[in-house]
Amino acid sequence: MEYVYAALLLHKAGKEINESSVQAVLSAAGIAVNESRVKALVASLDGVDIEDAISKAAAAPVAVAAAPV
Amino acid sequence: MEYVYAALLLHKAGKEINESSVQAVLSAAGIAVNESRVKALVASLDGVDIEDAISKAAAAPVAVAAAPV
Amino acid sequence: MEYVYAALLLHKAGKEINESSVQAVLSAAGIAVNESRVKALVASLDGVDIEDAISKAAAAPVAVAAAPV
Amino acid sequence: MEYVYAALLLHKAGKEINESSVQAVLSAAGIAVNESRVKALVASLDGVDIEDAISKAAAAPVAVAAAPV
Amino acid sequence: MEYVYAALLLHKAGKEINESSVQAVLSAAGIAVNESRVKALVASLDGVDIEDAISKAAAAPVAVAAAPV
Amino acid sequence: MEYVYAALLLHKAGKEINESSVQAVLSAAGIAVNESRVKALVASLDGVDIEDAISKAAAAPVAVAAAPV
Amino acid sequence: MALYTAHLPQWKKDEITTIKRLSSEYKLVGLVDMYGIPARQVQDIRRNLRGKAELIMTRNTLIEHAFGEIGGSITDLSSHLSGHSALIFTNENPFKLYSMLEKTKTKMAARPGETAPEDIVVSKGPTSFRPGPIVGELQQAGIPAAIEAGKVTIRETKTVVKAGQEINKKLADALAKLDIKPMDVGLILQAAFYEGSIYESDVLAIDETAFYNSIITAATHAFNLSVNAAYPTRDTASALLTKAVREARGVGVEAAVTSSDIIDAVLGKAQAQAMALQNVVG
């Protein structure tokens, strides 16, 4: 999931999400970066409306609801 | 929110969440870091069971308001 | 509600909830304190498991109306 | 959460929520105040309609999560 | 998604999910295999309890707030 | 379930789902193929809108919130 | 039974020749049960099958005779012959044929003595009948009929016969008058010979709903695995982002991180907690 957080971080910072930017963020966190996972992430995000995905999460209630039945 | 993303990235990577690690991640994403916000983040997360909070977030339903009848 | 806020504040800070502590918090917020309400609050909290009570807080779907996925 | 309670208390009392008022309330509760957290709180509340945010909590339905399928 | 199905098939067959087994399944389907995507898949699944991951709902349950009566 | 996985793998890859393609995928995964189950699968898929079924899977389970009390 | 073609009359020889010819022309030879299907329905079914399958009605002895002459495993089909078997020929596989035949089924009125395939329910409401002896006939069949506003009306919705029970003559007549058609009629595939093997009806029956649900389940598995293992695909990238944001928001609110993105949620949670406590203290 850390790869996805890196993408969100870059998005929030207004930076392009590409292989080198994702790699830079992960490396800064001290993570041994798996290049293929970075590629897969960047490829899968092509054409995705990130703002839209974020807004869907924003609708979530934040405190925990009653226990699942 | 980028500060929280940075914290989760570190958490997922199994790294310690402290002022310098958060700062490093944010900087790598090209974000101009506000030191006081980093301090506040680290202080807020102190004592919080992040794994637990994540799993609660995943279980919470997304609220969709029904159209008024 | 301000009396309850004061009690929660004290509770979260790990402080004892008694007449003088509640009074101090309310006064600091510039609230004219009603002594008998303070007494009533402290009395009614006696024996109450506050953590348990607040964990029952309903999920608040604060941002509403995401389109159904 | 005590910082947020302090903000709600001040809001309820009709006082301005600024660094010194928040600090005063927390100190009165005997809390060692973290300045950055106070700053972050005050900054995040800038432009927020508190009445609106808390009224949504009041209107919140009790969400019952469906069992995972 | 075909890469994920390949993993599911191998899992179901009780086979190890590694680069060559995934490649074999995809090739048998007549797919021109992207080596980096295979590597990413295998890396992502490393340490994952697949039984658990396939049965745990990944999408958030949607709570539909009842219209006020 | 492995027969359905195989069918979806082929579908996602844009390949035709027929007896020999299903058989090839299953065999490559090391699954002992039951010929009549393959036939049954292919026959059952006739007239099924796979995309439609998949889109139902992606939809989040709907939890219905109780009305405010 | 001895099989001496030479002693058979010409018409029988011709039928056997036809069966043998069709058996070699088509990939599938099947037996279908024609029991209880009126001639008119048979016409309809034939028309529906045109171009896809050929239906031949002949005597069982001639079928057996023909299979015997062909030899090999097709002779095993003979053991599935019943009193009302007919032959069906097609190039489809047995599963497709089975579902094709299922789709050609139609509803028909029940005849006296037949078994109800499901609970038969007569619904409340007016009928098209004018008052007359019909009311008594319906009542005798156990249907709560009455005259209301000059029309024969069913007073209440009632299950007149349960699944598996016999439909007696009075009820059969009454249901026919009310135009209730509870019986499924159609060809039932008893067994099929296809590419060297015999397929019996029990393996051919596929529950379409269960199958459709299994596709949904398989797709759900893939979706869940992709998201939970954080292996992004085009189909799941957006869901992964949403999940990551939800996690971040959850952690942020839990830790009361005061960030402008989630401050409203944090305030809401604090307020909800205060309200919960207020409820306790009264």
pLDDT for the residue numbered A60: 47
Distance CA G220, CA G62 (A): 52
**What is the token pair recorded at G262?**
């989630």
Among B8-12, G110-114, G147-151, G204-208, top mean pLDDT goes to: B8-12
Residue B60 binned pLDDT confidence (cut-offs 50, 70, 90) = low
**What is the token pair recorded at G280?**
């306790």
Alpha-carbon Rg for chain C in angstroms? 16
Cα dihedral G174, G176, G179, G183 sign: positive
Residue D43: what residue type?
A
> What ipTM was reported for this prediction?
0.84
| Res. F18: pLDDT tops 80 | yes
Q: Judge contact between G218 and F54, C-beta under 8 A.
A: no
Q: Judge contact between C26 and C3, C-beta under 8 A.
A: yes
Mean pLDDT for G155-178 is 90
Q: From the CA of C40, how many Å to the nearest CA of chain D?
A: 19
Distance CA B6, CA C50 (A): 32
Question: Which residue on chain G is closest to D48 by alpha carbon?
Answer: G264
CA-wise closest residue to B40 among B68, B4, B5: B4
Mean pLDDT for G57-66 is 91
Question: Which residue on chain E is closest to B63 by alpha carbon?
Answer: E63
Distance CA F52, CA D48 (A): 42
Distance CA E50, CA E56 (A): 10
Degrees, nearest 5: CA angle D19-D20-D25: 105
What would you measure as the largest C-alpha separation in chain E, in angstroms?
Answer: 60
Helix, coil or strand: residue B68: coil
pLDDT for the residue numbered D62: 44
Q: In what order do the strands lie in the sheet with G53-56?
A: G53-56, G85-90, G28-33, G188-194, G197-200
pLDDT for the residue numbered D60: 54
Q: Which residues of A fall within a CB distance of 8 Å from E43?
A: 34, 36-37
Distance CA B51, CA G62 (A): 75
Superfamily of domain G10-105+186-206: Ribosomal protein L10, N-terminal RNA-binding domain (3.30.70.1730)
Q: Give the F:G interface size as CB pairs under 8 Å.
A: 64
Neighbours of chain E (3+ CB pairs under 8 A): A, B, C, D, F, G
Mean pLDDT for G195-202 is 86
| Res. G132: pLDDT tops 70 | yes
Report the percent of chain B where pLDDT is more than 90: 65
Are G277 and C54 a contacting pair at CB < 8 A?
yes
DSSP string for residues in chain D: -HHHHHHHHHHHTT----HHHHHHHHHHTT----HHHHHHHHHHHTT--HHHHHHHHHH----BPPPP-
Q: Judge contact between G33 and G88, C-beta under 8 A.
A: no
Confirm or reject contact between D66 and chain G (CB < 8 A). no
Q: Which residues of A fall within a CB distance of 8 Å from G243?
A: 1, 4, 57
Task: Round the average pLDDT of chain B to a whole number and report it.
Answer: 85
**What is the token pair recorded at G52?**
């896809």
Distance CA A42, CA G143 (A): 69
Residue E35: what residue type?
E
Mean pLDDT for C35-63 is 78
Helix, coil or strand: residue G84: coil
pLDDT for the residue numbered D58: 66
pLDDT for the residue numbered F67: 37
CA-wise closest residue to A17 among A33, E1, G239, A40: A40
Confirm or reject contact between F37 and chain G (CB < 8 A). no
Confirm or reject contact between F54 and chain G (CB < 8 A). yes
Confirm or reject contact between A36 and chain E (CB < 8 A). yes
Tell me the per-residue pLDDT of A30-58, one tens digit each, with 9 for 90 and over: 999 999 999 999 999 999 999 999 988 87
| Res. A64: pLDDT tops 80 | no
Are A65 and D63 a contacting pair at CB < 8 A?
yes
CA-wise closest residue to A61 among D52, C51, G272: G272
Distance CA D67, CA E57 (A): 9
Q: From the CA of G238, how many Å to the nearest CA of chain C?
A: 11
Neighbouring C-beta atoms of residue G159, cutoff 10 Å? 12
Degrees, nearest 5: CA angle B25-B27-B31: 115
Q: Phi/psi at C32 (nearest 5 deg)?
A: -70, 115
Please report which residue ranges of B1-69 form alpha helices under DSSP H: 2-12, 19-28, 35-45, 50-59
| Res. E61: pLDDT tops 60 | no
Helix, coil or strand: residue G129: coil
Tell me the per-residue pLDDT of E7-58, one tens digit each, with 9 for 90 and over: 999 999 999 999 999 999 999 999 999 999 999 999 999 999 999 999 887 7
- Identical fold between G10-105+186-206 and G120-181: no
Q: From the CA of B61, how many Å to the nearest CA of chain F?
A: 7
Distance CA G281, CA C44 (A): 5
Sort strands E62-65 and F62-64 into parallel, antiparallel or unpaired: parallel
**What is the token pair recorded at F18?**
């027929």
Domain boundaries, chain G: 10-105+186-206, 120-181, 212-281
pLDDT for the residue numbered E62: 56
Question: Which residue on chain A is closest to B62 by alpha carbon?
Answer: A60
DSSP string for residues in A25-57: HHHHTT----HHHHHHHHHHHTT--HHHHHHHH
| Res. G222: pLDDT tops 50 | yes
| Res. G175: pLDDT tops 50 | yes
Report the percent of chain C where pLDDT is more than 70: 81
Q: Give the B:C interface size as CB pairs under 8 Å.
A: 16
Degrees, nearest 5: CA angle G162-G163-G168: 65
Distance CA G39, CA G55 (A): 13
Q: What is the DSSP letter of E30?
A: T
Mean pLDDT for B51-57 is 86
Confirm or reject contact between D62 and chain E (CB < 8 A). no
Tell me the per-residue pLDDT of F25-62, one tens digit each, with 9 for 90 and over: 999 999 999 888 898 899 889 889 999 999 888 654 44
Confirm or reject contact between A44 and chain E (CB < 8 A). no
Question: Which residue on chain C is closest to G281 by alpha carbon?
Answer: C44
Task: Count CA within 13 A, CB hemisphere, residue G244.
Answer: 35
Residue C58: what residue type?
A
Residue B50 binned pLDDT confidence (cut-offs 50, 70, 90) = very high
Distance CA G8, CA A31 (A): 88
Q: Which residues of B fall within a CB distance of 8 Å from C68?
A: 64
pLDDT for the residue numbered D66: 37
Distance CA F33, CA G160 (A): 48
Are E64 and B67 a contacting pair at CB < 8 A?
no
Tell me the per-residue pLDDT of G85-99, one tens digit each, with 9 for 90 and over: 999 999 988 988 988
| Res. G9: pLDDT tops 60 | yes
Are E12 and F28 a contacting pair at CB < 8 A?
no
Helix, coil or strand: residue B57: helix
Distance CA D3, CA D26 (A): 7
What's chain B's length in residues?
69
Are E61 and F62 a contacting pair at CB < 8 A?
yes
Q: From the CA of F63, how many Å to the nearest CA of chain B?
A: 7
Are C45 and G281 a contacting pair at CB < 8 A?
yes
In sequence order, which residues have a C-beta less than 8 Å from that of residue G31 and are 6 or more positions away?
G63, G77, G80, G81, G85, G86, G87, G88, G189, G190, G191, G192
Neighbours of chain D (3+ CB pairs under 8 A): A, B, C, E, F, G
pLDDT for the residue numbered G43: 87
Are C60 and G277 a contacting pair at CB < 8 A?
no
Are G256 and D8 a contacting pair at CB < 8 A?
no
For domain G120-181, give the fold.
Molybdopterin biosynthesis moea protein, domain 2 (3.90.105)
Alpha-carbon Rg for chain E in angstroms? 17
Are D30 and C15 a contacting pair at CB < 8 A?
yes
**What is the token pair recorded at A50?**
């990130």
Are F65 and D64 a contacting pair at CB < 8 A?
yes
CA C17 to chain centroid: 10
Helix, coil or strand: residue E65: strand
Distance CA G100, CA G188 (A): 10
Q: Which residues of C fall within a CB distance of 8 Å from A60?
A: 61
